[in-house]
Amino acid sequence: MQLSARELAALLNGVVEGDPEIQVSRPSRIEEGGVGTITFLGNPKYEEYAYTTTASIILVHQAFQPKKPVGATMIRVADVYLAVGVLLSNFGGNDSAPSGVSPQALVHDGVQLGEGVSVGPFSIVEAGAEIGENSYICSQVYIGKNAKIGRHAFIYPGVRILHDCVIGDHCIIHPNVVIGADGFGFAPQPDGSYKKIAQVGNVLIEDHVEIGANTTIDRATMGSTIIRRGVKLDNLIQIGHNVEIGENTVIAAQTGIAGSTKIGKSCRIGGQVGIGGHLTIADGTQMQGQSGVTGSIKEPGTAISGYPAIRHSEYMRAFVFFRKLPNLVRRLEQIEKWINPEGKRIPDQ
């Protein structure tokens, strides 16, 4: 597909600066470029590439003021990353899959398939399951008994959705996600062993949720583990039993959330964050990567860092002193030598 700068500007609600008739057929990274491609400048760290890229068109913010001549035709937009999302959707994405059940799939009697559903080779759909219209189930997917999947879902290869779990409309679940494995529930016994506690709840995922590869979401002990509407989960995330994640929260890779914690709406959680169990996290909380959260966050919009996590502003002030510790120790040793030149032991206070 080829589009001109004029057509792209209309699509992206942008303004052309340069040749409006120049054509592009695919996107490219700003470092690589290439004639006939379109790229973007979304991060100021990459500004130097804007002056050297060989791409034909470059998306920039409407307020961008170049320090040098830009060879590419610019399209100025209000939100570069939003425009890139629209752009990539038009240059590709998931191709429309043909509907129908593969002869190599196993779909049990009593399964309800909506109009336009596709089930790929070697997938298994157990009795009592429901799949909504125009959902695409790739190959080697397992859908357990009485599980429900909404409309326009896209389930990638290797996903396991276990019995009684519920997936909403327009959800995207990437390869090897496991939804509904048992929560980590064991009761200590007098002899030091542990007795398994049955996990009889389920997982409820609302609409427009995207879940990254190899993420695991445990079923509730009782009731539901809940992922609210619009949540975006990265790869390799562990969500424990009875956790609830509020709508439009985003969580980066390798984060772990212990059981029964409630996370509010529109939170932003960095990579490798550890969140303890039975906590309450207020709406709009921001957690820097590798934070260790051991207590509830009650004030909305709080930014935290470190372990144990404290307010980000306090952490940064403390870090200034932490960096100075080696010099402070050396100065203290020099002072001790000055006031105690004979090296006599100074009694502890």
Chain segment 266-286, per-residue pLDDT in tens: 999 999 999 999 999 999 999
**pLDDT digits 0-9 by tens, 101-159:** 999 999 999 999 999 999 999 999 999 999 999 999 999 999 999 999 999 999 999 99
**pLDDT digits 0-9 by tens, 287-319:** 999 999 999 999 999 999 988 787 888 888 887
Segment 3-14 shows an average pLDDT of: 94
Catalogue the long-range contacts made by 237-243 (C-beta closer than 8 Å, 24 or more residues apart). Answer: 237/212, 239/215, 240/183, 240/184, 240/277, 241/182, 241/183, 241/184, 241/185, 241/199, 241/201, 242/183, 242/201, 243/218
Q: What is the pLDDT of residue 92?
A: 64
pTM of the model: 0.79
Q: With 60 as the cut, is the pLDDT of residue 93 above it? A: no
Active site residue 163: no
Candidate list 170, 241, 278, 312, residue with the active-site label: 241
Q: For 325-348, give the secondary structure using H, E and C.
A: HHHHHHHHHHHHHHHCCCCCCCCC
The packing angle between helices 5-12 and 80-91, to 10°, is 120
Distance CA(241)–CA(258), nearest Å, equals 7
Domains annotated on the chain, with CATH? 3-91 (3.40.1390.10), 101-311 (2.160.10.10)
